[in-house]
Amino acid sequence: MWLTTQRARLRLAAETRLFSAGPDGESSVCLIYPNRYAVGMANLGFQAAYRIFSQDSHCRCERAFLPDPDEAVALSRTRTPLASLENQRPLADFELLAFSVSFETDYLHILDILAAAHLPLLAAERHDRHPLVIAGGPATFLNPEPVADFIDLFLIGEGEEMIPEFLERYAQLRTAGLSRAERLERLSALDGAYLPTQFRPSYDDAGRLTRLDYSGPGQPVVQRRLVQDLDAYPTRSQILNSEAVFGDMYLIEASRGCEWGCRFCAAGYMYRPVRYRSAENIKRQVTDGLKQRSTIGLVGAEMASQPGIAGLCEFIGQAGGRASPSSLKADVVSQELAVAIGQTKNRSVTLAPEAGSERMRRLINKNLSEPEILRAAEWLVGGGVPSLKLYFMLGLPTETPEDVEAIAELSREIYQRLSAAGAVVGGLTLSVNAFSPKPWTPLQWEPMETLASLRTKLNGLRRRLAGLPRVRVDTESPREAYYQTLLSRGDRRTGELLLAIHRAGGDWWKVIQQRRRAAKSASEGQSPSPDFFVHRRYDAQELLPWDFIDHSVSKQYLWVEWRKALLGRQTPPCDVSTCHSCSAC
């Protein structure tokens, strides 16, 4: 089709590839990011996976993405199947379709892409002539169950070592004359592989998961894979294109995980223990990156704790570049770091207080006081950073109107302090989102607050800050948070909902409302309302849909942290050399 072919040619021509592919192997793989090109090509995990596949001698790899809206219309109208970016090869002609999924809200796009490729959506309806559909990425590490009926095999964990092992095993099986089911059974023996057909969930009359029957070899546990030495696997921009989000930056992953143990943060738990790349390793990548882009994006869950971060930012500045670190924890921001960031002419820096009151910051284990937040803001703006962005959450457990008011008061105090000090403040942006409980965190048992209550809080917060000049409040719709929570905490029955949303043209809120109404009149044993997964506090001893994955973090440890949260007790940051409390080390 002309539209997609021409757009693919333009995109390929605009790309700067920074690695060489290996010799073509026998297995054909299409690596798919279930969102649009601009989003997918900004994702370091996707780019890293593409390099691993492309350089592996067992396969030849191409890419595909969710079609742009006009492409989707044209494909549907002409009944043309979705094709790969590189050679416009129909997805159905590949042996392997590999989805890289970073966010739960992209689960629906998996179905959209399979449909656009003219492939059966349900794994049970695919036959030997169809590609094997595999999936990995952070969203699947946490909870793959909402898409378990649509994926043949999951690879759970970091892929640097697992992907080559999978491709070698697949190469050994592809010419063995095995059926589709037999190949999947053999592939499921790989450490980190999850074959959904080996697990069968059962539910009680109240809708709770009560049992997970297992029919495979060994124990009914999937061990999440983790790379010990990050320096052995540099993760950085592999393909540059100005069309991509952050297209003006060269991105470098500086660390995985986080030492601080914020109780809402999935990255801090699923990537335990925290691992930092060495300063020497990052500087080598910076030197390469500055040949391509003047701005270096330093990526990590929390960058102020990165060993040698001030010197690294200074190094980037002295080389003529601009350092752009991701979110900084205020109490770890030093004056040296603030000056180093400011001297590189960084226009904006992000701090993440997450909550306005000391009480709520203790609950989420932020280990952060108001004076420390104010000090960091003063240092950053005084060091030459004209704009600040602050992350906050609403709807955290036990939150009161006073806690919401504290967000407005803290924001006012930051602005007034900066203005009184004579700092040139370009603006203050508050990014305020609803709390969405995530699997494998101490707050995984907690419900999301009701939409009506969240709207009231958001509207009140906007009113309280409306009089401050150059202060902007960006908010995510509570409905978006509801949808995210549904897909984060849902079990395999959530797949039925995704299928209904796909058939409704993606109108997820309409379908959710229909299911909520239908659940009120349904008899016991029927699929529960979506509210069952979103607004219900899970029982402490309840079998959770994602419990079969072993992240090496003890569920008992998470439960203790949950109780400490409700009691307002904080936990010190991880000391990976001496502490073994969570079992990750």
Can you give the three-state secondary structure of 78-145, one letter per residue? HCCCCECCCCCCEHHHCCEEEEECCCHHHHHHHHHHHHHCCCCCCHHHCCCCCCEEEEECHHHHHCCH
Across the chain, mean pLDDT equals 94
* Fold category of 2-223 in CATH: Rossmann fold (3.40.50)
Which of 162-166, 196-200, 326-330, 571-575 bottoms out in mean pLDDT, i.e. has the lowest? Answer: 571-575
Tokens representing residue 437 in the block: 């409980």
Give the pLDDT band (50/70/90) at residue 582.
confident
- State the virtual CA torsion across 479, 483, 489, 491 in degrees, nearest 10: 140
pLDDT tens readout for residues 271-289? 999 999 999 999 999 999 9
Question: What pLDDT sits at residue 389?
Answer: 94
Q: Tell whether the model's pLDDT for residue 520 goes beyond 90.
A: no
Which of 416-425, 427-436, 573-582 bottoms out in mean pLDDT, i.e. has the lowest? Answer: 416-425
Q: What whole-number distance in Å separates Cα of residue 381 and Cα of residue 426? A: 9
**Mean pLDDT, residues 444-471:** 94
**Mean pLDDT, residues 108-135:** 98
User: What is the CA angle 113-437-327, rounded to 5?
Assistant: 85
Tokens representing residue 167 in the block: 């491709």
Question: What pLDDT sits at residue 306?
Answer: 94
Question: What pLDDT sits at residue 329?
Answer: 95
Q: Tell whether the model's pLDDT for residue 486 goes beyond 70.
A: yes
Q: What whole-number distance in Å separates Cα of residue 135 and Cα of residue 54? A: 17
Question: What pLDDT sits at residue 346?
Answer: 83
Element (DSSP H or E) covering residue 199 = strand 199-203
Q: Tell whether the model's pLDDT for residue 420 goes beyond 60.
A: yes
Q: Tell whether the model's pLDDT for residue 515 goes beyond 70.
A: yes
pLDDT tens readout for residues 309-334? 999 999 999 999 999 999 999 999 99
Question: What pLDDT sits at residue 43?
Answer: 97
* Pairing status of strand 255-256 against strand 222-223: unpaired
Which of 37-46, 63-72, 520-529 bottoms out in mean pLDDT, i.e. has the lowest? Answer: 520-529
User: 387 in helix, strand or coil?
Assistant: strand
Return the amino acid letter for 48. Answer: A
Q: Tell whether the model's pLDDT for residue 154 goes beyond 90.
A: yes
Give the pLDDT band (50/70/90) at residue 467.
confident
Q: What DSSP designation does 266 have?
A: S
- Percentage with pLDDT > 90 across the chain: 87
Question: What pLDDT sits at residue 433?
Answer: 96
